[in-house]
Each structure stands twice: as structure tokens, then as C-alpha cells.
Amino acid sequence: MYKTHGSHWGAFEARAQDNRVVDIRPLAGDPDPSPILGGMAEGVHHDCRVKAPAIREGWLKHRDRARGGGRFVEVPWDEALDIVAEELRRVKDAHGNEAIFAGSYGWSSAGRFHHAKTQMQRFLNCFGGYTAQKHSYSLAAGLAILPHIVGDLAPLRGLTSWASIAEATDTLVAFGGIPIRNTQVEPGGTASHTTVPWLKKLAARGTHVVSITPLRNDTPDFLNPEWIAPRPNTDVALMLGLAHTLVSEDLHNPHFLAAHAVGGEQFLAYVMGGADGQAKSADWAADICDVPADTIRTLARRMAAGRTMIATSYSLQRGDHGEQTFWMTMALACLLGQIGLPGGGFGFGYGSMHGQGNPVPKMPSLTHSAGTNPTGSFIPVARVTDLLLNPGGEYDFDGERRTYPDTKLIYWCGGNPFHHHQDLNRLLDGWRRPDTVIVNEPWWTPTAKLADIVLPATTTLERNDIGHSSRDRFLVAMKQIVTPQFQSKNDFDIFRGLAQRLDIEAAFTEGRDEDAWLRHLYDQAREGAGPLANRMPDFDAFWEQGILELDAPEKPHVVYEGFRADPAANPLPTPSGRFEIFSETIAGFGYDDCPGHPVWREPAEWLGGQTAKTWPLHLISNQPKHKLHSQLDFVGPSRAAKQDGREPVFLSPGDARARSIQDGDLVRLFNGRGETLAVAVISDDVRDGVAQLPTGAWFDPADWAGSSSLERHGNPNVLTLDKGTSKLGQGPISHTTLVEVEKFNGQAESPEPFRVPEVVVLPAAE
């Protein structure tokens, strides 16, 4: 019998036989299901599952910090939980709760109850708190800048819908493209992948799409896009060149600026050269971007001639000074003056995830509360290594001067920082500083291999849950397909066991088990759904039904429509009530790397800088096509896409020829931070001067016990720069990375990213 279930890459039906998952099939009504589903069944039963609680022998016997070396010892659950509880209590008593770092960043489950990060944070909040992470690796710079310049996250969370764009947009200018590989995924999942059908409506209407990205395939061919390929990290300069053309040719809308924005005078003085003596003309931008000036001028004229939507991808703000990309997008849209019109204005993240631009009903998101962190302690999300290496160090963040706490214990669950963090060799050094690292994990990921205590967690198919996204109109009954495999436990049950030992069980569980929590969360959402509540049956009927579809709004959503019509009656939640092209607040921070209006600042590494003489290729480490981040890297489509067990790196024909590299050659990517091996694929879709190595390969250093050894699997984050975007956002800048690539002629060891460490059972003490 097939049962409904869900994942971040889509809802599906699954069938088991003899407690093994034997088939997974997408929902019949999904117009564009994700092939990532193909690896899920194998993943449940794979040899790299963590099969029992395991403690690194060196830590168990000597409390050493030699993570990555030595074997693990299998221990009974009760003993493992006793040890973890004792260690948590020791650190709290000796150093305070701030010494527990538990950001636990990750996308472990589409289920809203068995969400590993939430379960961990709820448990630790009941325990007195911890040091958390603020914002996300996807959007840290954007999340920092938007509240200052538009007042909230409307251009992220309430985008103008695809329906409006399909009906009204003449020109869609996509900085970063519209990469449909990313639209397989939505936090909480979806039962109907609709991005491609919407884009085909744009194509049928004849919308002109301009894809501005170093990668041609960032936008699908069926849109017949115009491809403009600037140097990476120069989009702000290109936008400034567009702005200069609009103003100098009197194509901008001064009336919109006067009524709906503040700071236009200061910004235009900068654009036209009055502020610093340098006009930001198309010719100026052309020298920086390596895009012809006539191309820039022609695009500006096209944008002013019809209804234009400016779509900027999340990826742009994951570069040095990433805040400027979002700020400049808003400023450029203000100059055009089409914000609040159907199909016009700006938005962030179209193509970055499935839900962006979806028509969705308004209802409260179905979420499990983590509660409040009593310590209030946090770090910017991507400053993990700085935290670990610099206890007591001071740093600037969003107008505050802050101090890193002294971390004694890391507790990670539901994520893999040795996938998504930058400069992994530096992280490895920091990871060995705390006394203890504890991980809840279904598989022997790199993070699990580098832990002291590993507790085996269930996969999503081994438990009941509810799938839902605030940007989707479906609720999915995620029904248990098989019982917990090996000795694995749900994260909820792991933390309940710890809570019992620490005398906080009542606060953590509120007297509810899994079933009671699912009913409670569903009923809460139903009670807050307003008119939609009539479409929501009681819990038992929903569970029997499996999939609940709510009605989408009939009218296409247009962000800022009310503000455009009457800015006095519908002000923005900014200090001025308007778009802040100049922000007095940000200017008051006095940051040299993020002044009071959008500016071009040279990145720390880029193809126009001095560093390019040594490292002449710009690394683009985009999201992968065959997996979500590093999830399911070891099975299904992801493993099939590897070549000789390694990730492919895409090079232009010219760059490959200059290095005598042939298609299929084993190559070494390297810079001053690290080196990795990959297999060359020569592609016309990559701009000259760019090496494209998608993220997601499990970290596989040749020497696990050491540091800075050759990474054998194709993980780009051994190369990326670990620096904040600016003092304002302190976001990651993985897309600001220069490298060199050469044919590898040495003796290459076979990669072993999915090798399970040695786990032994010690004889019982007499």
C-alpha cells in the first residue's frame, strides 16, 4: 500500500515491504516532479547509516580533541544519553549556557514537527539557552539590508506573483538568471512544481528575458533569453551603468522618486559623478564588468520602454559587499518608477526556490515553536570559524559592537557545516578547539566523522509528520513508511531522553507525544486560518486524505501595489515610510564597507583585481542540480552524476585549451586556502575566466586527522573565502573566490567520501 509523504524536493507516495522502502513515486498531479526523489529509498537503508550510538575512542578515554582520527566505540543508548546529559550539565555549570554553540543550521526534514533544528533549539532553550546563529547562509546580507531600506522582507516573502509577470511583463531582467534546477526545492516541500509551467507562459506571451550571469544555463533555453555575461561580482557596477543611462537620457521617473523614496539626491550625485568626480556611466561600467557599453545602454533603454521586472537572485548577495546588490536593485527599480504596477518593479529570489512567485493562500505557517533563547546569545550565521578561533574577539554587526563567546561544546543536528561553510580547512582548525562535539545524524556525514559523540537519528521516512511551506498551498500528511532502522531514534525522542535526565521533560514535551503534537500543530493552524478554515477538515480526515490543497488567491499578487497608490495611507515600515535609497541609519553606523547609499566597492578577490594575476579563474560554486545541498550525495541522481566518483568542474573551451585540459581529465583546483580534485567538463555555457564547481560533494580530505590536505571529491568550499560581506550583514561570500585549475598528473587516491569510520564494541569491564 502506498502512503503519502513529503520532502523539500516534493511530496510523493511510498511503499514498503518487509520493513524496507521498495518504491517511491511522485504525485500524479505534479507537473514537474524532482528526480532527487530517486535516491530516497536507497538512502534509508544505506551502509553509511549511523547504526548505533558511537563515541570517539580518544574522547571517551582521554577527552582528547583529535577529531577526524581514530575509531569510534559503540555504546548503549542509556549510556550515551547519560554521557551527553552529564557533559551538557558540566559545561553549563562551569562556563554558562553561552558556551554551548548549537546553531544546527540545516534542511534535515520537510516535516514541521520533526524539524531537527527546532527540536534542538527547543530542548536547549528549556535547558537555559545556548549561542545561536542569526540569518541564513542563503540570504544573510539580504536579510540584514532589507529591513533598513524597505522596512521588512516583502521583496523576499511577498513577491509579485508569476501570474502577474506572465500577464504584464514586457522585459524580465534576471540578475543571476532564473535557474530552474533550484526550483525543485522549497522549505517544507510542495505537491505541485509549477515554476516551469509559469515560465512557459512567459515564453508563450513573448516576454523578453535578459539573463545576466556568467553561466548561460542559469536560465532555461525555452525562454530564448538574451545572455549578458559580466565578470562575477560586478553586477552593482552594471546596475550603476544602467542607472546613469536612465538619468542622462531622461528615461527615469523623478515623480516616483519624489513621492515614494528618500535619498535620491545623494544617490544621483554619486551616479552622475558629483560626489566623487567619477560618473558611473556605461563606459565606466563596461571597463569593470567586461560588458560592452552599448549593451548596457541598449538594455537601459529597453527597460524604460516597457513594463520591466528586475529579478535578482539570492546568489548575488553571497559575494563581497553583497548587501549592495539588493540595495542597488531597489534603487534601479525606483528610477524606473514601475514598482507597484502589475509585472513591474523588483523582487529577490525568482528561481532561487520553488515558492518564490507562487500564488499562495494567506494562512499561518504550520510550525513547531522553539521558544525563546534565555541567553540571547548569537553570532551572524556564517561567522562560525571566527567564533571558534577567536573567543572574546570583537566584531561589528548591523550597528552593534559584539563579542564572541568562548565555545566549549558544539551540538549539531540536522545539518552538515562541512558542506556549506567557507574555507573548510580553517573551519577544521576551529572545530578542534571546543571540549566536545555532539551530533545527531542518520548518516556518517563529514560532520559526524568529525564529532566526538554521534547519536543515530531517523530519516523522514521512519516517522510521521506534516509537510507545509508558507509559500505553498498544500499540506501533506507525511506518513511513516518503515519503522526506525537499526538503533535510530527520532530527534524528539533523543531530546526527550536528555530532558528526562536534566529535569526539563515537562517543559520540553508539554506532555505530548508525536501524535499529540501533530494534532496540536494542525489544530493551531486550522484555528488561525480564518476563512480558509472551512477548507481544512479535522485532523483525522486530513490524515486519511493525505494531501490537502487550499485555494490560491484569484487576483495575481503585486507587491507594493497599495503603497504606490497611496504612500501616505500605506507607508513602508522604514523611518521615512518610503524606500530608503539613502539610509540615515546605515550612514550613522559609519561603516566604510557599507555607506549610506548603494555603491560599487571592489571585491576582495575578482577578475579585475591584482589577485587575478596569481589565481586567474573565478570560482562559481552554485547550487547542485542532482541533490539539495549535500543531502543524498551518496545515492541516486547525485552519485550517478559524478565522474569516476568525483564532481565535475565546468570550464569554457578557451580556458581549457589554455591549460591543455581535455574533457574528462582529472584536474586540480587550488588557491592559497586549499585544493580539490574534480573532473573537467568543457562547456560553452560558462563564461571565459570562470570555473563552475557546484556545491554538495561530501568533504573528503586525504588526511582526516590533519589539516589542509588535498580534498579528493570536488568540494569547492576548501577554496572559498571565509570573510563577511560587510560590517552590516557579515554574510558569507562564497562567490568571491579566485582559483587556478591545472591538469592533475600525480597519483590520485580514489575518493572515499562515504566510507564509514571504524566502529568497535569494547569488552565489558569486569
65: its cell numbers: 580533541
- Lookup result for grid cell 566584531: 395
CA distances in angstroms from 306 to 208, 233, 564, 617, 695, listed in the order given: 11, 28, 18, 37, 38
- Lookup result for grid cell 588557491: 671
User: Which residue among 105, 270, 395, 411 is the active-site one?
Assistant: 105
Q: Find the helix or strand (DSSP H, E) in which 400 lies.
A: strand 400-403
427: its cell numbers: 573551519
The string of DSSP letters for 555-584 reads: SPP-TTHHHHH-TTTS--SSSSSSEESS-H
User: Which residue among 107, 130, 270, 284 is the active-site one?
Assistant: 107
What contacts 271, CB < 8 A, 6 or more positions away? Answer: 240, 243, 244, 247, 279, 280
Q: How far apart are CA 225 and CA 215, in angstroms?
A: 12
Sequence length of the chain is 766
Cα–chain center distance at 766: 51
CA distances in angstroms from 283 to 233, 240, 329, 563, listed in the order given: 18, 11, 20, 35
Q: How far apart are CA 354 and CA 369, in angstroms?
A: 24
Residues 337-346, buried b or exposed e (16+ Cβ, 10 A)? bbbbbbbbbb
Q: How far apart are CA 152 and CA 356, in angstroms?
A: 16
8 Å CB contact between 171 and 302: yes
- Lookup result for grid cell 539557552: 129
Largest CA distance in the chain: 89
The SS3 call for residue 222 is: helix
234: its cell numbers: 560586478
Would you tell me how many other CB atoms lie within 10 Å of the CB of residue 537? 14
Q: How far apart are CA 615 and CA 618, in angstroms?
A: 8
Cα–chain center distance at 29: 28
Strands 345-348 and 308-312: parallel
The SS3 call for residue 386 is: helix
- Lookup result for grid cell 567564533: 387
Strands (E), 372-498: 378-380, 394-397, 400-403, 409-413, 436-441, 453-456, 465-468, 474-478
Q: How far apart are CA 517 and CA 117, in angstroms?
A: 16
Strands (E), 89-198: 100-101, 132-134, 171-175
8 Å CB contact between 368 and 112: yes
15: its cell numbers: 511503499
175: its cell numbers: 540578475
130 among known catalytic residues:
no
Would you tell me how many other CB atoms lie within 10 Å of the CB of residue 376? 10
- Lookup result for grid cell 571540549: 435
Residue 306 half-sphere exposure toward CB, CA atoms < 13 A = 13
105 among known catalytic residues:
yes
Q: How far apart are CA 310 and CA 212, in angstroms?
A: 11
**Residues annotated as catalytic (active site), given as ranges:** 105, 107
